[in-house]
Structure 1
Amino acid sequence: MSKSSSDPAGALYDPRVSANILAAGAVLWREAADGGIEIAMVHRPKYDDWSLPKGKLDPGETPVVAAVREVAEETGLRSRLGRYLGHVTYPVTGHRKLKRVDYWAAHVLDGAFESNSEVDEIVWCGLDGLMDALSYPMDRSIVRNFLRLPADTDTLLLVRHAKAGRRERFSGPDEERPLEKAGRAQAGNLVPNLLAFGATEIYSAPPLRCVQTVTPLAEALGVDVKLDPLFSESGYAAAPDAALARARELGSDPAVQVISSQGKVIPGLMETWAARDGLSLPPARNRKGSVWVLSLHHGRLVAADHLDRILISPEISRV
């Protein structure tokens, strides 16, 4: 395969180069019998190579959703995404095209492998020998990114509410200002992306626009949205330390929690949290409908990945 480049989570990414083929994949892992971990490699008979599971995005699909789908199609295994691991970019042999593949950590949930048209074999490797067994340096760079932090992290999804009508155009109490048409579309689009990270329980600031942002997800899961005033602008302003303690508590739960909050809460909460845990955050516009994917290990924030509202361009931060 041709020489590749990658973002800061890998090696040398040239931002001036724009890819015209988009794909997504994962470092698929599971617990080993000896207490360690094993990582899946797939064999593709078309290329006679051993690689990480990956594949091209379907039309209108996000990399997040594609990563889970491709893992399932190639391995037969259902998985839950965790940390973002970076991307690789490389020219496609025989074409004047550039391919970009985004990768996430993915923990196996269930399922069973069956040989298919793309993959005829899957092998679970311990860390010894894995790098030598992979066919491509770019896969090895992604695995190295995975190994820089513990595999078994807890996930918290922090969502800024979707687009609502302008405050000055709404005659009622601001707490009751609803999502506009574009915001309702954003709320619907969030559902498959949040489910890809294993979202199971939902908390929201009380304003209606915050609740409406996660209502489609709640309906998909069959759960209630639990209100928490600490994540509202007034609640956070009155007790920022209590809000951070609550977010840390929710983030340390093995179940994947979702918090829907507001624009004057999330930046301050993230900056304080990251500073206390020694994490440098990437620049993030904190636009409506965007998501922070937070990874915690033993209660400490170890990674923060920002998905912009279109959920196309992840920005990454690492300790």
Structure 2
Amino acid sequence: TGRNRKRRLFPDDDPQQPPLEHSQAYLTPARGRANLKIETGAHATRVIIEAGRATGLEYRMKAGLFTAKARREVVCGGAFGSPQLLQLSGIGPAAHLCEQGIVPVLDLPGVGANLMDHFYISLMFRCSLPITINELANSQLRKLKAGIDYVLFNKGPLASNGIYAGIFTRTDERQDRPNLQVNTNIWTVQSRTAAGMKAHPFPGFTMSPVHLNPRATGSVRLRGPDPFADPVIRQNFLADRLDVEAMIAAVKLVRGVAARPALAPYNAGEISPGADARTDDEIEAYVRAAAIANLHPVGSCRMGTGIDAVVDPRLRVHGIACLRIADASIMPSLPSGNTNAPSIMIGEKCADMILEDAR
């Protein structure tokens, strides 16, 4: 909680130096503190509430069930984990809790509501030249060379995050800011399974339009009283017609970019959605079949003062003393960009407010 945090995240403020991992930046300097105990392999099962106040946490490890008592608690389970833990603790929509066999402690309808996330689709193209990651993925020799280049010289394809170009733009001139981010990767995916992704056997590149401000919202609900059961996550992508129209426009926009003179010499033809998606109805069918989450979920314990709010502007859970939430779930709306940096900021701000309260 020191004021000079930036230098721990970004060593020497040197843009050439890679930023530290979160554990290096925050946990490593604090490991020697007498008031810190780090437990790994622990699964939180519920927040203990007594007389309207959070007094501890119940968690399970291989050795059994344990309880940690605390004067104040901060939940940081993310947009899926935080609402799940609150609902397991009896904090959430009372009717749903009763249906799942949980005794309601506080009827808080906003817990698990207002879930938002960016989502995207991918347009894949053949590349006319053998300059893509597909050739690397399909060659053991190229993989070996790439590994040596990275380990010994910190260069080569493995030193990149894989996004080689990007676009921020609008699908509708009525938008007051970009509502679309297009990421360009120099590979294409033939199949995607639990075992991983398989590249096409020929050169290819992908352009993926990401919807930055979708209107539809989803929910996170319990599957039952078992804290180890995955929650029921409903994103509701494309439930709003404006979101559908934005992605239809995105497909047309990306196709236009791929046909521009700078890219046309490399564009050897569209793999997907391909010739089967030309009309708006055909494009919509592809969007509905191919859209996937961009893994930027927020909003399921949103900050505010209305009936659907979960935490107040100081991140305190409404109706429960000594309990805060500090993660992306408290965002009232979805940022038009990645959520990592805003989540770090939320944690930093929460630390400051805890110190202010302690003083």
Which of the pair is proportionally richer in strand? 1
Task: Using CA pairs under 8 Å that are at least 6 residues apart, name the structure with larger relative contact order, 1 or 2.
Answer: 2
Q: Would the TM-score normalized by the shorter structure come out above 0.5?
A: no
Normalised-by-shorter TM-score class: under 0.3
